[in-house]
Amino acid sequence: MNSQTIKDKDGKLLYEPEVILERWAQYVEDCIQYSDNRSSDNNDINTTESCTISEMEIRTIITKLTRNKATGADNIPAEFLQSLGEKGIQTMTRLMNKIYNTGNLPDDFLQNIFITYQR
């Protein structure tokens, strides 16, 4: 399997960067319930936390990703994210803002895989 492909909901391989981006966005949106279920009756804090992550912040982070490294469990190489263009930056920004401001993280975002290394 090519490291720059993912499957649609029916298991069909997707190859085009824009189609892959849309599928990835759809997957994340399916994983998250975009309702804010944080408690609003916290007696210690009388404000609701909100944040806006800018497109420039997302662009900067993606630009700084190290190239030619092994992919994680998502199988998405840095080079792919760096090739998404403006539409990709806009989609990533929208998703990250929804995730941050709702407080709902997809379970996949909470998984880490550690590979031990012995010399």
Q: How open is the CA angle 67-70-72, to the nearest 5 degrees?
A: 110
Residues listed for the chain: 119
Q: List pLDDT tens digits, range 66-112.
A: 888 888 777 888 898 899 889 889 998 998 888 888 888 777 777 76
Q: How many CB atoms within 10 Å of residue 59?
A: 17
Asked if 116 contacts 50 with a C-beta cutoff of 8 angstroms, the reply is no
Q: Residue 58 has what pLDDT?
A: 92
pTM attached to this predicted model: 0.52
- pLDDT tens digits, residue range 22-73? 887 787 776 654 444 555 544 444 445 566 889 999 999 999 988 888 887 7
CB-CB contact of 103 with 27 (8 Å): no
